[in-house]
Amino acid sequence: MNILLTGATGYIGKRLLPILLDHGHHVICCVRDKQRFPSSGIYQHANISLFEVDFLNEIPDSKALGKIDAAYYLIHSMSSTSGDFERMETLSAQNFIKLVGGSGIRQIIYLGGITNGNDLSKHLNSRKKVEEVLSSSDIPLTAIKAGIIVGSGSASFEIIRDLVEKLPVMITPKWLNTKSQPIAIRNILEYLEGVLLKEETFNQSFDVGGAEILTYKQMLMQFAEFRGLKRYIISVPVMTPRLSSYWLYFVTSTSFKLASNLVNSMKVEVIPRDNVLEKMLSIHPISYRDSLALAFQKIEQNNVVSSWKDSFASSYVNNYMIEHIRIPKAGCFTDKRLQEISGNLDQVVENIWSIGGRRGWYYGNWLWKLRGFMDKMVGGVGLRRGRTNEHIINSGDTLDFWRVLAADKANMRLLLYAEMKLPGEAWLEFKVIKKDAKNYLQQTATFRPKGLLGRLYWLAVLPFHFFIFEGMLTNIIGFEKATR
C-alpha cells in the first residue's frame, strides 16, 4: 500500500516509518526540506519516496502526489515560537485536506491530545480544532488521542529526567497533583499501526492511555525511585504559570515557549475515556515503570531513534535549511584554521561526528558551558539539548546550541548553524580536504554581524577564539593519537 507520512522527521514519524516499511508498505514522506531528510541507514530504503511540501504555505497540485491509500497526520506546532500556533495548526490541517483530497485516499489517521474536559488549554483546544478540520472532509478519519507519551527522547520523558536527576529538592507548583495516564511510545506505535485501514475504526475517535493513572508528582517520584535517587518534592500554591514556565525553562532543556504550553496543559486532567481500542487491537498497556525501563534500555544501547529536540519547532528560528546551507562571504568575519592529519583519517572523521553532547568540544569545555549558561540567561537554548545519538548525526539534528545544516560523512563535511542568541548569525564548518597528497582538517567559523553590536561582539570574543578554536582543531586530530 502507498502510505503518506507527515511529520516524517519528527519524534513519532521517525519511529513509525520503519514499522510501516517492515510491513511492506511504500511510504511517501512529507518533508519541508528534502535536504533535512536523513540519508543513511533505513532512510535509503527502496520503499521510501519524498514529497516536499510546507503545509503553512502554498501547497503543490494534489495531482503531483499520486495515489495513496492512507495518510498519517502527525504535524504539531506546540513548541513554535509563534504566539498563534492555533491558527497555524488549523491552516496546516486545511491544506493537508486539500492536498490529499484527489488521491483516492481511504483513511486519515491523526494523533492528537485528550480533550474530554471543558476547560482546555490553548494547546489542547488547537488539537481539538485540528480533529474537527480533519473530520470535516469526506475522508474517513481515525483519531487516536493520548496524554503524556513516555519514551527515550520524548519531551515529557526528557523534562522529567532533567528535573529528577538535577534537583535533590524540588519546590513545585500545585499542578503537580494533576492526574494523567502516561502511555509508552511502544503502545502509541502499536495503536497507530494497528488502525491502518481497519474499517471498524473509520470516522471514530479513541482515547488511549497506559496501565495506570498517576499525578505528575507520582511520575517524578517513581522516576527517582527507578534511578535509585532520593528526592524531595514540596508543592506550593503561590507559583504562577509564568514562574512555573521559567522553572521548567531554566532547569530542563525545553524552550520557554514549550514550557509555557506544557504548564498550561499540565493544569488540565488528561485521563482517557474507556479505551475500546485496546480491546479491539488486543494491545497490552505498558506500566509507567516498564516504560522507563524500555526508554533507558534504548539510551544505554545508544539507540535513541528520535528526539523532540531535533524538531525545528524546538528551535528559535524558522525553517532555514536552504537559506543558510551556503555560508555567506560578504560582510562576514571568519576564523579559518588548517591542520594536517598525520594519523588515522577515519578516526578523525569519527571524532568530528562525535562532537558535542557528552563528548564536549575537545577544548575549553567549561568555556562552552559558560557560553551556554549565558545563552540560557537571555532566553536562548543553552547547551542542555545535547545530541540524540553519540556517534550519528543527520542534517536537521540539534547539537547543543547548534543546528546541523549538512552532515555529509562520505565527503567528510559537517556544517553547523548557531541557534544561540547572537547579534548576528554564526556557522561552524569542519571539512577534510586533500592538498599535495596529504589530508588536512579545515575548521572555519563564520560570523555575519548585525549592526554595530554584532561587530563589537566579534571583537570581544576574538581573543578567546585563538585558544578555543586552535585547541579544538588540534584535539580533534590529537584525540585519535591518544586512542589508537
pLDDT digits (tens, 9 = 90+) for 341-358: 988 999 999 999 999 988
Of the candidates 231, 219, 191, which has an alpha carbon nearest to the alpha carbon of residue 289?
219
Confidence of residue 103 (pLDDT cuts 50, 70, 90): confident
| Average pLDDT over every residue of 454-473 | 90
For residues 387 and 453, membership in a common domain is answered with yes
**What residue type is assigned to position 103 of the chain?**
S
Q: Which contacts (CB < 8 Å, 24+ apart) does range 297-302 have?
A: 298/151, 298/152, 299/152, 302/389, 302/390, 302/391
| Average pLDDT over every residue of 207-225 | 93
Residue 315 lies in a domain: no
Confidence of residue 320 (pLDDT cuts 50, 70, 90): very low
For residues 404 and 294, membership in a common domain is answered with no
DSSP string across 259-326: HHHHHHHHTS-B--S--HHHHHTT--PPPHHHHHHHHHHHHHTT-----GGGSGGGSSS---HHHHSS
**Of 283, 306, 329, which residue constitutes the final position of a domain?**
306
Residue 89 lies in a domain: yes
Cell of 200: 471498524
Residue 314 lies in a domain: no
Report the predicted TM-score, pTM, of the whole model to 2 decimal places.
0.76
Confidence of residue 477 (pLDDT cuts 50, 70, 90): very high
Tens of pLDDT, residue by residue over 105-145, are 999 999 988 887 667 777 778 888 899 999 999 999 999 99
For residues 203 and 84, membership in a common domain is answered with yes
Residue 68 lies in a domain: yes
Of the candidates 296, 102, 90, which has an alpha carbon nearest to the alpha carbon of residue 185?
296
Of the candidates 72, 100, 286, which has an alpha carbon nearest to the alpha carbon of residue 193?
72
For residues 279 and 373, membership in a common domain is answered with no
DSSP string across 374-393: HHHHTT---STT--SSSS--
Confidence of residue 309 (pLDDT cuts 50, 70, 90): low
Residue 312 lies in a domain: no
For residues 292 and 371, membership in a common domain is answered with no
**Which domain does 184 fall in, by range?**
2-306
122-131, 150-159, 237-246: least confidently modelled range: 237-246
Confidence of residue 319 (pLDDT cuts 50, 70, 90): very low
Of the candidates 15, 66, 25, 64, which has an alpha carbon nearest to the alpha carbon of residue 46?
25
For residues 404 and 288, membership in a common domain is answered with no
Of the candidates 394, 390, 411, which has an alpha carbon nearest to the alpha carbon of residue 403?
394
For residues 139 and 13, membership in a common domain is answered with yes
Q: How many folded domains does the chain comprise? A: 2
Residue 316 lies in a domain: no
For residues 244 and 107, membership in a common domain is answered with yes
Cell of 313: 519547532
For residues 401 and 298, membership in a common domain is answered with no
Residue 21 lies in a domain: yes
For residues 55 and 181, membership in a common domain is answered with yes
Tens of pLDDT, residue by residue over 427-438, are 999 999 998 889
Tens of pLDDT, residue by residue over 387-404, are 877 878 887 788 888 888
- Residue pair 405/393 in contact by the 8 Å Cβ criterion: no
